[in-house]
């Protein structure tokens, strides 16, 4: 249906509607506003790219609230435009103020949200097989590295909006190679040996990157879903690099792949009943996945089901390919997480402000801990504190706090899974923190801060005093309209790198700090450095150093 000509909202008008929204004054909206088929199609794509991660492919909500038209109709189109433009302190990004969406797109998105959502498609194994390609067969790959570089100190840098991964030498800071991957590429994981990076794009495309090739190259790829966030390799003794798994956001699916060719081997549907005797959830998204060192299995977190699954890959090579799955009830809104020591895996139930501590040896829920608002650990940070023993920390999206808890039930039972410090930081909007045994600091970002200064700031937190030592703005980041994100260490822990995440229209840089003195020692620059986000040192990623 053709829509009427649309007005362009002015910033002043948006400010007024934001105030109205903040004061909770509802604007009645009887009929869904008109939207043309072209606008609907564009909005569906924008929603998939920018909104589905938090609000769900079906708009049923998760990290963010549900975006069903019946709820939103009470709030009205002006409210929606204001929130999309300006964001909210709890983590909703300011899409307009940060130049992510234009005024026209915001206008279309507000109308799209007030109309019924489209039904997303399912996928079959045949469709997945059509996307599977092996560029270099395992038998044609080199038996040893084809370069003299210290490949275990390579850093894979995600160039998000370029759909590329840059392989950078962690020793020389030189670019070793650039490879094409999936759209809006999200994370990399190292295979057990470190030889391969597996990459996952938001479009569900998985790529296998061989670091022994000169230059590194994609040797296999497959697209097992339409929307994905996680990927992991098999790491148990005897199964190194043998298998990989992709966790999909849509369809509700995890797909087991051959680790050397990415051939799809098993599809595991995740739609089902929520923890306990809960409701049936059609959209049960796969969030963090980690490879266990205790058993030949992956620990797979199903967000809307509130369950953590232990997926046993040890018998995949047998005829009939049984794939035993142990389901543990944890809690809803599971998102990201990492190892606390080598026995416990901690995953954030983010919208509940909780951390689930999973005992990977016993396959039980060891504890639930209340963090700050919307904990977002990435992988978290591990170190040994002189009083509390081994501890584990998370940042929080919604509160200006780094939360530290005891993580050693055997040696320090009185502190285990108790919050031992809530360390004040200047900004909300943290996404990642990281540390290394050779650094006295935890490095802490705040790219989702509503304050532009916050988005460009990094903090160093004292691991012994348990207080913020220093926070500083990365010079030049604000001039690029960029956010400073994702600390990562080099293999020996002497340097920490942070991405200056600007727009794809101009190059930005990766800033390198001395991990002890906090001095800036280099900027990795070049025309290729566009939209850098996550960075993954091969050794640290393969060995879960964080």
Choose one: 76-84, 254-262, 266-274, 287-295; the region binding ligand DHE (CB under 6 A).
Answer: 287-295
Q: Which residue is nearest to ligand DHE (CB)?
A: 53
Whose Cβ is closer to ligand DHE: residue 9's or residue 380's?
Answer: 380
Whose Cβ is closer to ligand DHE: residue 350's or residue 403's?
Answer: 350
Whose Cβ is closer to ligand DHE: residue 160's or residue 343's?
Answer: 160
Is 287 a binding residue for ligand DHE by CB under 6 A? The answer is yes
Cis check: omega of the bond before 215, within 30 degrees of 0: yes
Is 379 a binding residue for ligand DHE by CB under 6 A? The answer is yes
**What is the length of the chain?**
546
C-alpha distances in Å from residue 531, one per residue of 106, 163, 487: 22, 10, 15
Residues 228 to 267 in contact with ligand DHE, rule: CB under 6 A: 229-230
Site string for ligand DHE, 417-446 (x = CB under 6 A): --------------xx--------------
State yes or no: is 415 an active-site residue. Answer: no
SS (H, E, C) 241-266: CCEEEEEEEECCEEEEEECCCCCEEE
Of the candidates 431, 425, 448, the residue with the CA atom closest to the CA atom of residue 375: 431
Q: Please tell me the chain's helix, strand, coil percentages from 3-state DSSP, rounded to the nearest 5.
A: 15, 35, 45
Cis check: omega of the bond before 475, within 30 degrees of 0: no
Whose Cβ is closer to ligand DHE: residue 17's or residue 234's?
Answer: 234
What is the closest distance, in whole angstroms, from the C-beta atom of residue 29 to ligand DHE in the complex? 26
The active-site residue, picked from 55, 385, 412, 436, is: 55
Q: What is the full DSSP assignment across 390-441?
A: EEEEE-BSSSSEEEEEE--TTT-TTTBTSEEEEEE-S-S----EE--TT-SE
What is the closest distance, in whole angstroms, from the C-beta atom of residue 398 to ligand DHE in the complex? 13
Is 530 a binding residue for ligand DHE by CB under 6 A? The answer is no
Tokens linked to 397? 């999206």
Choose one: 250-258, 259-267, 281-289, 460-468; the region binding ligand DHE (CB under 6 A).
Answer: 281-289
What is the closest distance, in whole angstroms, from the C-beta atom of residue 223 to ligand DHE in the complex? 17
Decide: 113 and 19 in contact? Cβ < 8 Å: no
State yes or no: is 402 an active-site residue. Answer: no
Query: What b/e string do you get for 363-383 counting C-beta neighbours within 10 Å, with b at 16 or more?
Result: beebbebebbbbbbbbbbbbb
Whose Cβ is closer to ligand DHE: residue 51's or residue 404's?
Answer: 51
Residues 468 to 497 in contact with ligand DHE, rule: CB under 6 A: 485-486
Decide: 285 and 56 in contact? Cβ < 8 Å: yes
Among 73, 246, 253, 288, binds ligand DHE (CB under 6 A): 288
Among 54, 208, 305, 352, binds ligand DHE (CB under 6 A): 54
Is 58 a binding residue for ligand DHE by CB under 6 A? The answer is no
DSSP 51: I
| 3-class DSSP assignment, residue 113 | helix
The active-site residue, picked from 173, 186, 376, 412, is: 376
The active-site residue, picked from 51, 248, 356, 448, is: 51
Choose one: 205-213, 273-281, 285-293, 421-429; the region binding ligand DHE (CB under 6 A).
Answer: 285-293
Give residue 403's region: left, alpha or beta (phi > 0; psi -120 to 50): beta
Residues 153 to 182 in contact with ligand DHE, rule: CB under 6 A: 160
SS (H, E, C) 361-402: CCCEEEEEEECCCCECCCCCEEEEECCCEEEEEECECCCCEE
Residue keyed to tokens 């940070």 = 381
How many residues touch ligand DHE (CB under 6 A)? 21
Among 289, 291, 302, 351, binds ligand DHE (CB under 6 A): 289
Choose one: 213-221, 284-292, 414-422, 470-478; the region binding ligand DHE (CB under 6 A).
Answer: 284-292
State yes or no: is 248 an active-site residue. Answer: no
What is the closest distance, in whole angstroms, from the C-beta atom of residue 26 to ligand DHE in the complex? 28
Choose one: 173-181, 282-290, 291-299, 381-389; the region binding ligand DHE (CB under 6 A).
Answer: 282-290
Whose Cβ is closer to ligand DHE: residue 206's or residue 287's?
Answer: 287
| 3-class DSSP assignment, residue 535 | strand
The active-site residue, picked from 173, 186, 335, 415, is: 335
Is 534 a binding residue for ligand DHE by CB under 6 A? The answer is yes
State yes or no: is 51 an active-site residue. Answer: yes
Beta strands in 194-284 (DSSP E): 196-201, 206-210, 217-222, 227-233, 243-250, 253-258, 264-269, 272-273, 280-281
Cβ-in-10-Å burial (0-12, 13-18, 19+) of 101 comes to: buried
What is the closest distance, in whole angstroms, from the C-beta atom of residue 19 to ligand DHE in the complex? 27
Strand partners, 381: 393
What's the CA gap between 416 and 119, in Å, rounded?
45
Catalytic residues: 51, 54-55, 92, 335, 376
Catalog residues that contact ligand DHE under the rule CB under 6 A. 53-54, 63, 160, 186-187, 229-230, 287-289, 335-336, 378-379, 431-432, 485-486, 533-534
């Amino acid at each position: 249906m053709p829509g009427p000509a649309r007005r362009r909202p002015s910033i002043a008008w948006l400010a007024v509607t934001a105030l109205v929204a903040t004061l909770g004054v509802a604007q009645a909206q009887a009929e869904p506003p008109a939207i043309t088929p072209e606008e609907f199609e564009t909005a569906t794509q924008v929603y998939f790219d920018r909104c589905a991660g938090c609000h769900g492919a079906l708009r049923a909500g998760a990290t963010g609230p549900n975006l069903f038209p019946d709820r939103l109709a009470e709030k009205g189109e002006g409210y929606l435009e204001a929130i999309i433009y300006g964001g909210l302190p709890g983590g909703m990004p300011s899409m307009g103020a940060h130049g992510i969406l234009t005024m026209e797109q915001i206008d279309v998105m507000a109308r799209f949200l007030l109309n019924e959502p489209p039904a997303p498609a399912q996928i079959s194994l045949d469709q997945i097989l059509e996307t599977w390609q092996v560029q270099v067969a395992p038998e044609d790959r080199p038996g040893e590295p084809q370069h003299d570089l210290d490949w275990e100190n390579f850093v894979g840098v995600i160039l998000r909006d370029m759909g590329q991964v840059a392989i950078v030498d962690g020793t020389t800071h030189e670019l070793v190679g650039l490879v094409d991957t999936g759209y809006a590429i999200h994370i990399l994981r190292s295979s057990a040996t470190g030889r391969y990076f597996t990459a996952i794009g938001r479009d569900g495309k998985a790529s296998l990157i061989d670091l022994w090739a000169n230059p590194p190259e994609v040797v296999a790829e497959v697209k097992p879903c339409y929307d994905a966030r996680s990927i992991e390799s098999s790491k148990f003794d005897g199964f190194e690099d043998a298998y990989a798994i992709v966790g999909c956001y849509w369809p509700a699916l995890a797909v087991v792949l051959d680790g050397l060719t990415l051939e799809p081997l098993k599809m595991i549907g995740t739609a089902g009943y929520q923890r306990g005797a809960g409701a049936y959830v059609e959209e049960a998204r796969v969030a963090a996945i980690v490879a266990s060192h205790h058993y030949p299995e992956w620990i797979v977190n199903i967000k809307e089901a509130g369950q953590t699954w232990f997926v046993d890959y040890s018998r995949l090579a047998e005829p009939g390919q049984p794939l035993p799955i142990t389901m543990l009830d944890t809690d809803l809104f599971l998102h990201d997480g990492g190892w606390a020591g080598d026995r416990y895996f901690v995953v954030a139930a983010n919208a509940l402000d909780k951390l689930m501590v999973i005992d990977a040896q016993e396959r039980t829920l060891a504890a639930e801990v209340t963090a700050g608002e919307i904990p977002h650990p990435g992988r978290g940070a591990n170190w040994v504190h002189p009083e509390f023993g081994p501890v584990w920390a998370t940042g929080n999206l919604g509160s200006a706090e780094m939360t530290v808890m005891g993580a050693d039930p055997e040696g320090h039972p009185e502190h285990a899974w108790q919050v031992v410090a809530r360390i004040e930081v200047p900004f909300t909007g943290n996404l990642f923190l990281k540390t290394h045994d050779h650094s006295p600091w935890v490095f802490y970002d705040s790219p989702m801060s509503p304050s532009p200064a916050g988005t460009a700031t990094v903090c160093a937190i004292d691991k012994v005093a348990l207080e913020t030592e220093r926070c500083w703005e990365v010079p030049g980041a604000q001039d690029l309209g960029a956010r400073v994100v994702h600390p990562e260490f080099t293999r020996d822990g002497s340097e920490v790198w942070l991405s200056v995440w600007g727009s794809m229209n101009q190059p930005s840089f990766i800033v390198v700090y001395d991990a002890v003195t906090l001095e800036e020692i280099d900027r990795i620059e070049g025309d290729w450095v566009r939209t850098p986000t996550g960075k993954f040192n091969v050794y640290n990623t393969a060995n879960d150093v964080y």
